Structure 1
Amino acid sequence: MRTNPTGRQLRLGTELRKLRERAGLTATEAGQLLGSKQTFISNIEAGRAGVSAERVRTLACHYDCSDTALVEAIAAMTGDRKRGWWEEYREILPGALLDLAEVEHHAVRLRTAITVHIPGLLQTTEHARETFRLVVPDLSPPDIEHRVSFRIKRQAVLFRDAPAPYVAVIHEAALRMQFGGPTIARAQLRHLLEMSERDHITLKVLPFAAGGFPGSGQSIFYSSGPVPQLDTVHLDQSHGPVFLDAEAQLGKYRVLLDRMEAKALPPEKARDLIHSITQEL
């Protein structure tokens, strides 16, 4: 029995619970269909107990779920039993940060929109260090370095073979925030320009001239799963990451990101603006 399930294990259980509830079955009734007790179903849905891909398919059949793509995507979530690199930080960093790295690792597409910060996946080491120095309450020097190394290791998703497409919308305010001073800021902007040249990365900028826009003031990270029902929204809050996966919430943030991307400068003009700001430093 697991005592500390990962975010992915919890999500697997959540999706199975959604299927059961749509079928109008209680956990007791679902257990009876499998010849098991209610506690067996409850433990699976809470992420406390593992479940095989074949058992997922059996449950989906009992739940009269005809969405084959969804069932197979959920079944695939049972197969990755290797420890991810993020597990080495299990006793060092908050579990929600590890869940974020796990979500990124399994995503088929990544989208983000951010107002006053550079997205973590696009930060330089020096820029990341300066942002963590501003965390409240203050982090100790070792804690800062742990968070910096974790953030940089997360960026491996952008460099692996066949990386997921990544779309980032950054507000001009974030480009002009000089974390650590002009030298670090200049290096950060040059790094953005270099990363924007990669085929799988689309970098857009919302200029001040664009005025107001939907989602202003929010930091949104959207991770697409193999099917839309398994997408995840990550909101970065002062108290830590918040994850959303309800269908209504996913739909809302898809629309927000679509509208923000539509209002942002396209990649070529975005690079021109970044280059111009770099020259001013």
Structure 2
Amino acid sequence: MGLRTKPTYRQRRFGAEVRRLREQAGLSSTDAAALLGLKQPHLSNVEAGKTSLTPDRVRLLTAACGASSTPFIEALNELGQQPGKGWWSDYRKILGEPHLDLAELEAGAVALSSYEPTFIPGLLQTENYVRAMYRGGYAEASPEEREAAIAFRMQRQSILLGEPPTRLQTVIHEAALHASLGDRDIMRGQLLRLIEASRLPHVTIQILPFEGAVAFGTGFMVIEPSEPKLSTALVSHIERDLYLEDEDSIAKYQGWFASLQGAALPPVDAAVSPESHAVKDSLGLIQRLLYPLL
């Protein structure tokens, strides 16, 4: 098998985990390669995500490095066998690698925790809302790229309807609900979409009100696969998103998200009749903003 020229994020993550295990065990790349019956350049390519290890070699490495957790070893093996292909591969020639990496990460997740200070989370956006974002200049793209990106974002949302579906917890700042993207119909449809999504048992939506605690100013998402040790924190930036993998960073963002949940209004519960909601819960706030748009 030839070397990968453009390894995906998850393939690079496998290589990074191999390097982390090796370094924590105090093994040089030469010694670790010899242990695995490989040459040192081969192991360097593994650590760069350009190729993988067989399951037997993964088990040999983890045993030598003192990693005995069966769930972790199984998850690492699964990560190492990732082909890097999925529905998102159809967009490779049009969209950049960050789009594909995000879709691949989400597809391998069992739970997502996101905070959005400015916009509705992508996994909950309507098509009209996304189109309005492009018209407003919030994303630059050619007509072809724009149409591909819109279709791509809509397809990302399929993870919420899968078997089993991915769990989504999200805190949305109230500012995102007031931002008028396009006309009244667009915002009405988007607010109704939030209420509709909240009916899914695996989706939890909370609104952080203006009068709440000062929020973390940058959007982020913690992406958790079946093995929490392989989680990723994705931090939004204008030019390029930041991917964090170390346990300390993951713990910090999980802690910040828990704080945001505590400061936010109680979750939307669309199963309860509107009359039962106080204005100061998440559904009550959404409904208060929705009524003038009806």
Q: Shorter chain as normaliser: what TM range?
A: over 0.9
1:201 aligns with 2:203: yes
Please name the residue that 2:28 is paired with: 26
Deviations 1:175-220 (A, max 9, x none): 111111221011100111111111110010101121413x2x1101
Deviation at 1:136, TM superposition (A): 6.4
CA distance in 1 between counterparts of 2:286 and 2:106 reads: 26
CA distance in 2 between counterparts of 1:218 and 1:193 reads: 24
CA distance in 2 between counterparts of 1:58 and 1:245 reads: 23
Contact 2:12 2:48 in 1 (8 A): yes
Please name the residue that 2:132 is paired with: 130
Unpaired runs of 5+ residues, structure 2, are 269-280
SS of equivalent residue, structure 2 residue 80: coil
The equivalent position to 1:273 in structure 2, one of 271, 281, 285, is: 285
1:111 aligns with 2:113: yes
CA distance in 2 between counterparts of 1:79 and 1:32 reads: 22
1:267–1:88 distance in 2 versus 1, CA, 3 Å: same
- Using the TM superposition, name which of 128-137 and 267-276 deviates more: 128-137
Deviations 1:104-158 (A, max 9, x none): 0010111101111000000000101111334467322221111111100000001
Q: How many residues align?
A: 279
CA distance in 1 between counterparts of 2:173 and 2:64 reads: 48
Name the aligned partner's letter for residue 43 of structure 2.
I
Unpaired runs of 5+ residues, structure 1, are none
Point out 4+ residue stretches in structure 1 off by more than 4 angstroms: none
SS of equivalent residue, structure 1 residue 208: coil
Contact 1:13 1:44 in 2 (8 A): yes
Name the aligned partner's letter for residue 271 of structure 1.
L
Deviation at 1:240, TM superposition (A): 2.9
Contact 1:170 1:205 in 2 (8 A): yes
CA distance in 1 between counterparts of 2:88 and 2:209 reads: 35
Structural mapping, 1:43-54, within 5 Å: 43-54=45-56
Deviations 1:41-64 (A, max 9, x none): 111110111222222111112222
CA distance in 2 between counterparts of 1:98 and 1:114 reads: 21
Contact 1:133 1:144 in 2 (8 A): no
Name the aligned partner's letter for residue 196 of structure 1.
S
Deviation at 1:280, TM superposition (A): 2.4
Q: TM-score, normalised by structure 2?
A: 0.91
1:248 aligns with 2:260: no
CA distance in 1 between counterparts of 2:183 and 2:165 reads: 32
CA RMSD in angstroms comes to: 1.5
1:225 aligns with 2:225: yes
The equivalent position to 1:13 in structure 2, one of 9, 15, 31, is: 15
Once the two structures are aligned, what percentage of the paired residues are identical?
38
The equivalent position to 1:155 in structure 2, one of 157, 161, 165, is: 157
Contact 1:97 1:241 in 2 (8 A): no
Deviation at 1:82, TM superposition (A): 7.1
1:260–1:82 distance in 2 versus 1, CA, 3 Å: closer
CA distance in 2 between counterparts of 1:82 and 1:6 reads: 6
Please name the residue that 2:272 is paired with: none
Contact 1:204 1:261 in 2 (8 A): yes
1:135–1:17 distance in 2 versus 1, CA, 3 Å: farther
Deviation at 1:6, TM superposition (A): 0.7
1:96–1:82 distance in 2 versus 1, CA, 3 Å: closer
CA distance in 1 between counterparts of 2:34 and 2:80 reads: 22
Name the aligned partner's letter for residue 246 of structure 1.
D
SS of equivalent residue, structure 1 residue 259: helix
